[in-house]
Amino acid sequence: MNAQTETAKPAEGETERRINMIEAINEALDIMLERDDDVIVMGEDVGYFGGVFRCTAGLQEKHGKTRVFDTPISECGIIGVAVGMGAYGLRPVPEIQFADYIYPGLDQLISEAARLRYRSACDYTAPLTVRSPFGGGIFGGQTHSQSPEAIFTHVAGLKTVIPSTPYDAKGLLISSIEDNDPVIFFEPKRIYNGPFSGYYDKPVEPWKKHKDSVVPEGYYKIPLGKARHVTEGDALTVLAYGTMVHVAEAVCREKGVDAEILDLRTLVPLDIEAIEASVRKTGRCLIVHEATRTSGFGAELSALVTERCFYHLEAPVERVTGFDTPYPHSLEWAYFPGPVRIGEAIDKILGE
């Protein structure tokens, strides 16, 4: 089994220290700016102000205006100049303020960044890491809640990474920045400050109470393409990423289901070995994501599981997803794939 089972632990000689996901991302950027002179952080409001989510706070003051700077409000410009910087030899980390606003930059991502290595036969590469807050559950309405990961997983040449804990956020972001391929790094903004159970009427628990908020101060990496075992179990396999890892975990705990929850962490390249091993063991598979259902990444997961584990399956693969509508404002909790929808799907899979 290839999936990582390690959890957060302090490095040798360090005391245990708990931070939230924003602080973890900020540390990853700070460390990479320090380690590699070619790393550049840029985007709307990321410089002096430190970002609308504070992910880049203090970085400009520490590393200077030519390393960390504000940009015009132009996503195609931000990604386009980042591709040019990559061709020069820099390692840009552009930020798109919300994933909902990444679309003006799509031509540069899909037609240029993703294909540059291939079309030039390695003359030029695009080692960029596009950071962008994504996902709902925050009353963000139509344009501050979307989960467009399937647009990117469909593009040959892009890697898509989504952390679900502060420990992973730091280690995966460092790996993404060091990776020589273009990486789309989606940060689930609902869990920037604390994990989310899906019970919107309960107070938010801060990261400080969660085991995966223990984050070493220094440099460490989590490899791309490796899933994480959130829980081990025999009754069914749950495939999730981002915020939904925590929602699924809360539902399984509450229902007392012996679920094996896999946090995929990287959608492309996918940890197919971990998925196959788990589903062959449990014989049942539930896929959970916030994004809309039709042609969402869940469809790819469902097809892969069915193709590769068909004779081990004891029930049809189920998908719990957002509905096929734009993300609504007032009806957010009717839309969000929360405990009720997940619970019903689990019952169905288990035949209860």
Per-position DSSP letters for 237-262, written without gaps between them:
EEEE-THHHHHHHHHHHHHT--EEEE
> In the sheet where 285-292 sits, what is the strand order?
228-231, 259-263, 236-240, 285-292, 318-322
State yes or no: residue 43 binds another protein (CB under 8 A).
no
Nearest to 267 by CA among 80, 75, 90, 134: 134
State yes or no: residue 116 binds another protein (CB under 8 A).
yes
As measured in angstroms, the least distance from the Cβ of 58 to another protein is 20
| 68: helix, strand or coil | strand
Q: Which amino acid is at 124?
A: Y
As measured in angstroms, the least distance from the Cβ of 163 to another protein is 20
- Of the candidate spans 85-93, 144-152, 166-174, 239-247, the one that interacts with another protein by CB under 8 A turns out to be 85-93
Interface pick for another protein out of 44, 149, 181, 260 (rule CB under 8 A) = 181
- Of the candidate spans 19-27, 212-220, 248-256, 267-275, the one that interacts with another protein by CB under 8 A turns out to be 267-275
State yes or no: residue 83 binds another protein (CB under 8 A).
yes
In which element (H, E) is residue 236 found? strand 236-240
Under a CB-based contact definition with an 8 Å cutoff, are residues 267 and 297 in contact? yes
| 350: helix, strand or coil | helix
Alpha carbon of residue 234 to chain centroid: 26
State yes or no: residue 157 binds another protein (CB under 8 A).
yes
Q: Which amino acid is at 331?
A: L
Tokens of 181: 């391929």
Residue closer to another protein, measured from CB, 76 or 350: 76
Can you give the C-alpha Rg of the chain in angstroms?
19
- Of the candidate spans 100-108, 136-144, 237-245, 327-335, the one that interacts with another protein by CB under 8 A turns out to be 100-108
Residue closer to another protein, measured from CB, 63 or 144: 63
Interface pick for another protein out of 18, 63, 131, 159 (rule CB under 8 A) = 159
State yes or no: residue 257 binds another protein (CB under 8 A).
no
The residues carrying an active-site annotation are 75, 144
State yes or no: residue 279 binds another protein (CB under 8 A).
no
As measured in angstroms, the least distance from the Cβ of 80 to another protein is 3
Contact residues for 318 (Cβ-Cβ < 8 A; gap 6+):
285, 286, 287, 345, 348, 349
Instruction: List residues near another protein by CB under 8 A.
Output: 40, 66-67, 71-72, 74, 76-77, 80-90, 92, 104, 107-108, 111-112, 115-125, 156-157, 159, 179-181, 225, 268-270, 272
